[in-house]
A = this chain, B = another copy of it.
Amino acid sequence: MFKHVDYLQFQAKPEKPDALLAAKMQELVGGQFGEMTVMMQYLWQGWSCRVPGKYKDMIMDIATEEIGHVEMLTTMLARLLEAAPGEATEKAAAANPVLAAVLGGMNPQHAIVTGGGALPRDAAGVPWNTGYIIASGNLLSDFRSNVAAEAQSRLMTSRVYNMTDDRGVKDMLQFNLARDTWHQQQWLLGIEQLVADGFTENGIEDSNGDDENQEANHTFYSFDPESTAGEGRWAQGPTLVGGKEIVYVPDAQPLTDDKPLGPAPDPKLFVTYDGAMGKGKPGTGAGAHAQGVANVVNKIKGALD
């Protein structure tokens, strides 16, 4: 259960309205790595966490903070949009190049849809969706996703930070930058803790590890004869898991003579084929239908042996 306190975690006071900046800052609200993403990703991971105690509490703490970050940003956006012109026309633009830029660059939905408030969308106006988030139940994999999300989120914030001179906006973004620096470390420390607690040996996702192909797990295949990829650490020295020596294969060749060719499907699906049945219109090769039906029966029988 959640509670609300009617103060922002950190102030969101721009010096002046700026509709163009508001259009750009939408990326930090509803972008692939905006605050909605980390808010929802951590809430779902917290709710999905099956380890009671410090792990679950930690995730829920961060998730709860992030709801407040969306709150900070929506407040900032509403204030940046204070003077968003509801009536400005081409005539005004003719007299004022700044207005021309605002007319061109401001997000029309900031006026039409929200009446001067933030949108739950990115800087291109695309609605946020849960295809951006992950909660797999596997803390190692999810903490890796979280480090990445914080790094990308910080980078986007940093780029926007350089796009304004507004002291009030920069103050808030300095807070956000710091949280992203901190949160990157926190999730990396979370992986250290998972190792310390015996949930993973080395921070590499290796479930069913004994079953994996023992050649392909330490080999760099190169697919361009002129590639210089062999010069990097990823192509030489010991692996991080198991201490094998990395193998570098320049100009890699197929490991099989199997070709990417599917079988003839049920003729009733009218797929173009010839194969064993001879040429002909889809679905009408002699005997194809009967054979297809027989296949269905036989193959499923085989599945039960």
Contacts and interface: CB of A to CB of B under 8 A. Distances in A.
B84 A109 contact: no
A289 B200 CA distance: 18
Contacts of A217: 177-179, 181-182
Contacts of A120: 40, 44, 130, 133
Contacts of A126: 124-127, 131
B75 A118 contact: no
Contacts of A252: 9, 65
Contact of A115 (B54, B222, B257, B269): B269
A303 B162 CA distance: 16
Most B Cβ at <10 Å: residue of A50, A84, A105: A50
Nearest to A128: B130
Contact of A258 (B8, B131, B164, B234): B8
Contacts of A193: 232-234
Given A107-B124, A233-B196, A9 B1 contact: yes
A254 B9 contact: yes
Interface in A4-46: 4-13, 15-18, 20, 23-24, 27, 30-33, 40, 43-44
Given A67-B2, A102-B300, A204-B184, A233 B189 contact: yes
B98 A101 contact: no
Interface in A229-259: 229-235, 237, 239-241, 252-259
B159 A115 contact: yes
24 contacts: A2-B2, A2-B65, A3-B4, A3-B5, A8-B260, A9-B254, A16-B302, A32-B131, A50-B273, A87-B266, A88-B296, A90-B98, A108-B124, A115-B159, A120-B133, A121-B124, A174-B211, A174-B212, A182-B218, A182-B239, A189-B233, A196-B233, A198-B279, A200-B281
Given A138-B282, A182-B216, 6 more contacts: A13-B258, A105-B105, A152-B205, A162-B269, A199-B280, A201-B281
